[in-house]
């Protein structure tokens, strides 16, 4: 369940991508955005949603499409290649639509604001976060976890850019334990 998984991405847009656990291992793959309640619970955990909020199956489908398009674009960035055209175009269209619904805040620093009022607004809220992430984040610090099968992404905030795992306590510990086991058997 998503409410139990840590938010390790470094930005809500990356944490959205990480709502798929074990992305690189089809046998263990888990999607944490399976229904409207799971989506709302995840949004509350990220701090994006508050108050009375509801989602629909259509909302879940739109958020999952946004997530997969974003993953395709971010993974291409990590691999230093062009993103799939259909994912890039879908993401661009979603961002343009979201920006057309937002307003400029009247406080300093100026920023886009959007308050969801109905279920159809939730993808807009997330898309604006994706836009902020893509506009203002150094994507050269974006990494994919080095653990076999994990697939989670994260922003490497380490001084020398050497972070390898989404979580040192989870994937990092598992890798160290495997390495120790191999050495002990040799």
- Predicted confidence at residue 77, as pLDDT, reads 97
CATH of 2-185, one of 1.10.10.10, 3.30.200.20, 1.10.3300.10, 3.90.1150.10: 1.10.3300.10
Residue 110: pLDDT band with limits 50, 70, 90: low
- Predicted confidence at residue 182, as pLDDT, reads 74
Contacts 24+ apart (CB under 8 A), 131-140: 131/95, 131/98, 131/99, 132/13, 133/11, 133/12, 133/13, 133/14, 134/13, 134/95, 137/11, 139/74, 139/77
Q: Judge whether residue 66 has pLDDT over 80.
A: yes
Residues 73/91, Cβ–Cβ less than 8 Å: yes
State the DSSP H helix or E strand holding residue 89, giving kind and residue range, or none if neither.
Answer: helix 85-101
Q: Judge whether residue 1 has pLDDT over 60.
A: no
State the DSSP H helix or E strand holding residue 132, giving kind and residue range, or none if neither.
Answer: helix 122-136
Q: Copy the structure tokens of residue 122.
A: 């939730």
What is the arithmetic mean of pLDDT over 117-128? Answer: 90
Q: Which residues contact 64 (CB under 8 A, 6 or more apart)?
A: 31, 33
Q: Tell me the backbone φ, ψ of residue 144, rounded to 5 degrees.
A: -110, 140
Q: Judge whether residue 81 has pLDDT over 80.
A: yes
What is the arithmetic mean of pLDDT over 178-183? Answer: 69
**pLDDT higher for 180 or 155?**
155
- Predicted confidence at residue 175, as pLDDT, reads 65
- Predicted confidence at residue 46, as pLDDT, reads 94
Q: Judge whether residue 186 has pLDDT over 70.
A: yes
Domain range summary for the chain, segments of one domain joined by +? 2-185
- Predicted confidence at residue 162, as pLDDT, reads 92
Most confident of 3-12, 134-143, 170-179: 134-143
Cβ neighbours, 10 Å, residue 20:
19
Residues 154, 151: Cα–Cα separation, whole Å: 10
SS3 26: coil
**pLDDT higher for 81 or 107?**
81
Query: Of the candidates 25, 17, 149, which has an alpha carbon nearest to the alpha carbon of residue 73?
Result: 17
Report the predicted TM-score, pTM, of the whole model to 2 decimal places.
Answer: 0.89
pLDDT, the chain, mean: 90
Q: Judge whether residue 73 has pLDDT over 90.
A: yes
Cis, bond preceding 109 (omega within 30 deg of 0): yes
Strand-pairing partners, residue 143, are 154
């Amino acid at each position: 369940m998503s409410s139990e998984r840590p938010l390790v991405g470094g930005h809500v847009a990356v944490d959205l991508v990480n709502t798929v656990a074990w992305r690189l291992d089809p046998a263990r793959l888990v999607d944490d955005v399976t229904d409207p309640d799971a989506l709302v619970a995840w949004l509350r955990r990220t701090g994006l949603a508050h108050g009375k909020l509801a989602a629909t199956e259509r909302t879940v489908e739109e958020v999952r499409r946004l997530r997969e398009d974003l993953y395709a674009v971010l993974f291409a960035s990590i691999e230093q290649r062009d993103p799939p055209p259909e994912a890039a175009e879908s993401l661009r269209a979603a961002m343009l639509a979201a920006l057309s619904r937002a307003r400029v805040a009247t406080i300093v620093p100026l920023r886009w604001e959007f308050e969801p009022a109905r279920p159809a607004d939730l993808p807009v809220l997330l898309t604006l976060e994706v836009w902020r992430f893509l506009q203002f984040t150094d994507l050269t610090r974006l990494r994919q976890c080095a653990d076999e099968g994990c697939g989670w992404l994260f922003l490497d905030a380490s001084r020398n850019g050497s972070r390898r795992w989404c979580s040192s306590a989870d994937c990092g510990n598992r890798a160290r334990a495997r390495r120790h086991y191999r050495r002990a058997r040799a």
